[in-house]
Chain A
Amino acid sequence: MRTVEQTLEEILNLAAEHFRVPRGQLSPDDDFFKALRLDSLQALELLTRLEQHFGVELPDYEFQGVTDFRTLADRIQARL
């Protein structure tokens, strides 16, 4: 079982790789819309990628209003 810190680290690595952003530029409290320069469709793409990685389903409505990596990690952790 991953710890929430491990989940967070994996999300940051995955986001950096998927959206081709240097990992060093991302930190847990960043707004991922801004840090990754995402529009709403790309944010859905990120969720799909995270679902594949963690093997869980992440309903859109649970992620309304979630904008930073840390909260994202908390919500995913709750489903692991």
Chain B
Amino acid sequence: MLDLRQYQSLQEALRDALETFRNHVCLIESDRGRERHRLTYGQFREQAQPLARALQDAGLGAEPDPTAPANRAAILMTNQSRWLLAAYAIHSSGGVLVPLDYKLTGREQLALLAHSQARYLITEWFLWQQITRSEGFADFRPRCVVVTDAPADAELCGAVRWEEFVARGAGREPVFRPRRRSDWACIVYSSGTGGRPKGCVLTHDNYLEQCWSLTRWYPFWPGVRYLSILPTNHAIDFMVGYIGPFVCGAAVVHLRTLRPEFVREAFVTYRITYVSLVPMVLKNLERGLRQRLQELSPLQRRLFAGLVGLNRALTRDRPRPWLSRRLLPSIHRAFGGELRAIIVGGAFSDPQTLQFFYDLGIPVANGYGLTEACTAVTVNNLKPFRADTVGQPLPGVEVRIVDPDADGIGEVAVRGRNVMSHYLNDPELTAETIRDGWLYTGDLGRLDPDGHLRLFGRKKNMIVTAGGKNIYPEDVEAFFEGLPVKEFCIFAANYIWPARTLGDEQLVLVVRPEPEPEQTGREALHRELAARNRRLLDYKRVHGYLVWTHDFPRTVSMKIKRDVLAAEIRAAVERSAVVPL
């Protein structure tokens, strides 16, 4: 692995990686078991260079101020090798990368493009089509849009095909523009597509330090094959599916079709070493495995349980992959036989699920992180494995509990070189979130005497779904605009009624009806709420509503004082008063 401490910017480290590991496999892209691309680090460089040159010809990186909007370029793509080629081309040109979530709607993409002020967009034709048909497209004025996967007869709406664009830069060496550690590397949106976009500005120092500390606990090396399933725009995959493997010379495997049958096949075909998953997918895997175990005969089941028990006893202090593979060969064969760990993050993981996999000899590296802290704050280093905590702070990262109660539980604050610079264009929110160098996470936790962090809920008004999506109630409120009520507001249920758990988080709609409503009015309201709720995507739906008959407390500028309202509700009614929708 490269010594990251000697580099000033990501592009310098990555450039050296492409040279150092030039003969090692860097990227494999497969679609339905058919391999479409296989690139060595040397070939990756050859393919990225003309793209960088073409971007530079279009003006990327030329502004003297490295943070200027004209130096910002967005990537909006599903996981594929061109995602990483584009990222390298943007950074090596001196650009600031804005990774966008391909699962958002076209309108949401446009809102984030406008907020980030990115002047360049590299995307897929099908996603581009979604944008061009969205309200607000007429106001989008990029310098250049490059699209991949466009059918021959596609209407490109001003975009340029990837192949044509790359050909423009062929045969000419791009200018390599290094940056300083304190310069911006990426603007990553943690949430806020509706009300207040939260664009985390992460520096080269953030990424280099975070990568250095993560790879001390979870090293990659040439020969490691990482299966990239989580979207690369997500902080976890960007780090462990790009920066981490690249600076160590490992290979990244992309699948263009993520159906369960092809994912299963990829584990075996490519003998995957690491994979990252969100808890929801891990839970599905567990369900599938349990189902298969149920199909065994009673005798086979007893035998299997005995082997699992033996494996658990022999791996209590640390994982012993070779031993586990011999004890439980059929399980390990199904995962390709070389899986060393599943990295899980983005949301709360059920300790029982983590233990289930560990007992089978498949360690789950569960941790805790947030985009504001680059990727990870704590990770379980498996020495020994603990399912009940989210691990210990990574090297170089400090965690403290602010104002702990009698049980030692308080807000988790984080300090370290992984903490973002600021929120883009939002000094007020930045000042609220980062104080005296400490990032206030809004999550509640407790540190064990041995330094392990346990999480107990949230102080902030938000939820994280099992699929790893951050949902801010303010963002869902827009879908209820125009309700026939005097006023309304959405809360995370645990914000009103604090619960010391992070599983199964829900949203609650609080409505203040017009004065003296008739019963029929209430019924109509219920129907209206249920109808609107049905129109929302499942993960944005509110769990239920609460009728509140007092005026909402408001600031002088008429903003709802959410904390005061939550306290009033808490003092007056129980959570059971919520009417399910």
Contacts and interface: CB of A to CB of B under 8 A. Distances in A.
Contacts of B30: none
B149 A64 contact: no
A59 interface: yes
Nearest to A48: B259
A64 B538 contact: no
A80 to B, nearest CB: 14
Interface string B113-152: 0000000000010110110000000000000000001010
A57 B32 contact: yes
Nearest to A63: B126
A4 interface: no
Interface residues of A, number: 20
Interface in A5-59: 31, 33-34, 37-41, 44, 47-48, 57, 59
A61 B538 contact: no
A64 B537 contact: no
B258 A60 contact: yes
A47 B262 CA distance: 13
A61 B537 contact: no
Contacts of A37: 538
Given A41-B284, A44-B260, A59-B256, A64 B126 contact: yes
Contact of A44 (B127, B256, B258, B534): B258
B184 to A, nearest CB: 28
A78 B103 CA distance: 23
Contacts of B538: 33-34, 37-39
Given A39-B538, A47-B259, A59-B256, A64 B102 contact: yes
Contacts, number: 55
Contacts of A65: 102, 105-106, 126-127, 129-130
Interface of A is mostly: helix
Contacts of A31: 535
Contacts of A44: 258-260
B260 A33 contact: no
B495 to A, nearest CB: 25
Most buried by B among A33, A39, A47, A60: A60
Nearest to A35: B534
Contacts of B105: 65
Interface of B: 31-32, 78, 80, 102-103, 105-106, 124, 126-127, 129-130, 149, 151, 256-261, 281, 284, 467, 534-538
20 contacts: A33-B537, A34-B534, A34-B535, A37-B538, A41-B260, A41-B281, A47-B259, A60-B78, A60-B257, A61-B78, A61-B126, A61-B256, A62-B126, A64-B102, A64-B124, A64-B130, A65-B105, A65-B106, A65-B129, A65-B130
